[in-house]
């Protein structure tokens, strides 16, 4: 009976949820990083008005719980006539939240780049935009990578909140199964193991990426 439950019920259900979790994480992490780079750059080098808007966005989404943001997107927006599918609401919420945190990592990395580099590129005839795209931002991303990678790991765990707005991912599948069979301990231990494997794999990949992008002497005193 125990073996049948794990093989026939638990593993297939969690694997279905795992696929939906990947569907959440991949676009949220990739688009969220792009949002973070854009907003972080604007907050550092943009027009003062754009800087204020970027700061407000970061303060709003870093200062409020993600679960509240998801509730507003899925349950609140219909009051304004805007209806989002559970998947769309979850991905949008994750992108906005992780983008705000990523922008702070990128902003800090950009501020660590010496201003003389920007002046030197301008002396060579680069526009500010060209200098940022080709010289400043690539260096900053190397320095921001540990923080940005840490945020991606957090996002893997944030994805477990999607089930509260009815998108059934890994945690949602497990909760349904645990409620049906009253096997909460076994089910949630298995879910925890799935997340542990995902986080470990992501951490391994991010460390490999850091080593690949590492430039000897870069950032050293």
Mean per-residue pLDDT, 49-64? 96
pLDDT at residue 219 above 70? no
Inside any domain, residue 186:
yes
Inside any domain, residue 221:
no
Q: Give the confidence band of 153 by pLDDT, cuts at 50, 70, 90.
A: very high
Inside any domain, residue 112:
yes
pLDDT tens track for 66-112: 999 999 999 999 999 999 999 999 999 999 999 999 999 999 999 98
Coil, strand, or helix at residue 64? coil
Mean per-residue pLDDT, 41-58? 95
- Looking at the 3D structure of the chain, how many domains does it have? 1
d(CA 43, CA 140): 14
pLDDT at residue 127 above 70? yes
Mean per-residue pLDDT, 2-21? 83
Inside any domain, residue 220:
no
Q: Are 70 and 93 in contact (CB under 8 A)?
A: yes
For 168, the domain range is: 2-213
Q: Are 113 and 140 in contact (CB under 8 A)?
A: yes
Residue 203 is part of a domain; what is its CATH number?
1.10.3720.10
Q: Which residues contact 177 (CB under 8 A, 6 or more apart)?
A: 9, 10, 13, 14, 183, 187
Q: What is the pLDDT of residue 162?
A: 95
d(CA 54, CA 151): 19
pLDDT at residue 221 above 50? no
Inside any domain, residue 27:
yes
pLDDT at residue 220 above 60? no
Inside any domain, residue 196:
yes
pLDDT at residue 58 above 70? yes
């Amino acid at each position: 009976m125990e073996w049948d439950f794990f093989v026939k019920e638990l593993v297939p259900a969690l694997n279905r949820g795992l696929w939906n979790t990947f569907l959440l994480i991949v676009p949220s992490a990739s688009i969220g990083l792009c949002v973070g780079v854009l907003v972080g750059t604007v907050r550092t080098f943009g027009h003062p008005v754009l800087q204020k808007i970027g700061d407000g966005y970061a303060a709003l989404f870093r200062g409020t719980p993600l679960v509240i943001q998801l509730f507003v997107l899925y349950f609140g927006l219909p009051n304004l006539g805007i209806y989002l599918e559970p998947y769309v609401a979850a991905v949008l919420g994750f992108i906005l939240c992780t983008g705000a945190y990523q922008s702070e990592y990128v902003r800090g990395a950009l501020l660590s780049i010496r201003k003389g580099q920007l002046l030197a590129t301008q002396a060579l005839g680069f526009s500010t935009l060209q200098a940022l795209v080709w010289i400043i931002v690539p260096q900053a991303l190397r320095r921001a990578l540990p923080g940005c990678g840490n945020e991606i790991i957090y996002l893997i765990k944030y994805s477990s909140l999607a089930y509260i707005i009815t998108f059934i991912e890994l945690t949602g599948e497990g909760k349904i199964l645990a409620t049906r069979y009253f096997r909460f301990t076994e089910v949630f231990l298995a879910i925890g193991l799935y997340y542990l494997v995902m986080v470990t794999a992501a951490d391994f990949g991010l460390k490999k990426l850091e080593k690949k992008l590492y430039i000897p002497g870069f950032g050293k005193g």
